[in-house]
Amino acid sequence: MDIVGFLKSQFICHLLICYIFIVSGLIINFIQLFTLILWPINKQLFRRINCRLAYCISSQMVMLLEWWSGTDCTLYTDPTSYHKYGKENAIVILNHNFEIDFLCGWNFCERFGVLGSSKVLAKKELSYMPVIGWMWYFLEIVFCKRKWEEDRKTVAQKLLNLRDYPENFWFLIHCEGTRFTEQKHQISMQVAEAKGLPKLKYHLLPRTKGFAVTVQCLRNVVSAVYDSTLNFRNNENPTLLGVLNGKKYHADLYVRQVIHISEVPEDEEECSNWLHKLYQEKDAFQEEYYQTGTYPEVPIVPPRRPWTLLNWLFWALLLLYPLFKLLINMINSGSSLTLATFAFVIVMASVGVRWMIGVTEINKGSTYGNNDNKQKQK
């Protein structure tokens, strides 16, 4: 292992990265709080400012993937559609099979300049999480409780609020609702059999109601639907911990020819059938990828932009100097209580870092869809 690889694997480096992310994130959250005074005065200015503040947070995660890990991201797509990416509002359908698929989705957004304004459909609990959850609140992210009877009205209203959004945005949606596991797949296919739907080998059944409402509410706002399928070469099983350790992965993202929004049925039942058919096609593409190791379209590597790295370096220079100065003063003091307090903070920080990583792990992820009494698909 070279010296750079050795340093990337050291826990002290991980702590410093997480320190920069958390402290800068809280500072940005605090600034976002003050932007609320702009909402009644100039809503569009509020939105533009928060897009850029949000970028300062989310781009640090993308920096880990692009620059720290050095992960290669190859895009397979129709060259005639490539020039449209980032220049129009779109709904992006992503598969949900890997621990870092959300990070690869953000990387896709970053390469085409829409990371700061990207939207997701997220569970309500995340809105209470400092840094990312609070950032999403100011980005007008659509949160749901995963109880459709309660969610339908609030989700529709929040989506309708995006009709006059001043920035180009992509709405990223995992229609399966939860990450793929063998247990969830088995339950999902039991539902497919009960409903007379074709079974899927590599995906869970999509939850169609949320997608249908998204299409209905954003129909006059977005131009297209991007059907995206992510895989990793050589049977790699990427994790956030691996990225933090500087491990390089090789991602392949297949974005099929842009589907114009007018091609997606407006009727809820027809839209549901359309989405099920789409996932059957996605399953066939997965099968082809596992057999050939490639996708049918032209491979393109979108240029890596420097802004994620420059943003991280700015926050690192701003926050590491006072930290090191504080540590030197603490050590020079020679106080046993001070040193014990410092050791306690390090231990708590390590626990916090491990907890944050654990949130992304598949085996510690959502139990949504696991319970037999919840087999009825929404």
| SS3 label, residue 255 | strand
pTM score: 0.88
Q: d(Cα 123, Cα 145) in Å, to the nearest integer? A: 6
- Asked if 249 and 71 touch (Cβ cutoff 8 Å), the reply is yes
Domain spans of the chain, in order of start: 21-306, 308-363
Q: Which CATH class is domain 21-306?
A: alpha beta
Q: d(Cα 202, Cα 6) in Å, to the nearest integer? A: 36
Q: Where are the beta strands (DSSP E) in 124-223?
A: 142-144, 170-173
- What lies within 8 Å, CB to CB, of 154 at 6+ separation is 144
pLDDT at 30: 97
pLDDT at 377: 40
Per the DSSP assignment, residues forming a β-bridge with 75 are 253, 300
pLDDT at 310: 97
First to last CA, the chain: 49
Q: d(Cα 227, Cα 256) in Å, to the nearest integer? A: 6
pLDDT at 138: 95
- What secondary structure does DSSP assign to 130-150, as a single string? TTHHHHHHHTT-EEE-S-HHH
**Dihedral (CA of 157, 41, 47, 311) sign:** negative
Low-confidence ranges of the chain (pLDDT < 70): 1, 257, 334, 339, 342-378
Q: d(Cα 101, Cα 127) in Å, to the nearest integer? A: 20
pLDDT in tens, 246-261: 999 999 999 986 788 9
Total residue count of the chain as it appears in this document: 378
pLDDT at 356: 59
pLDDT at 96: 87
pLDDT at 372: 42
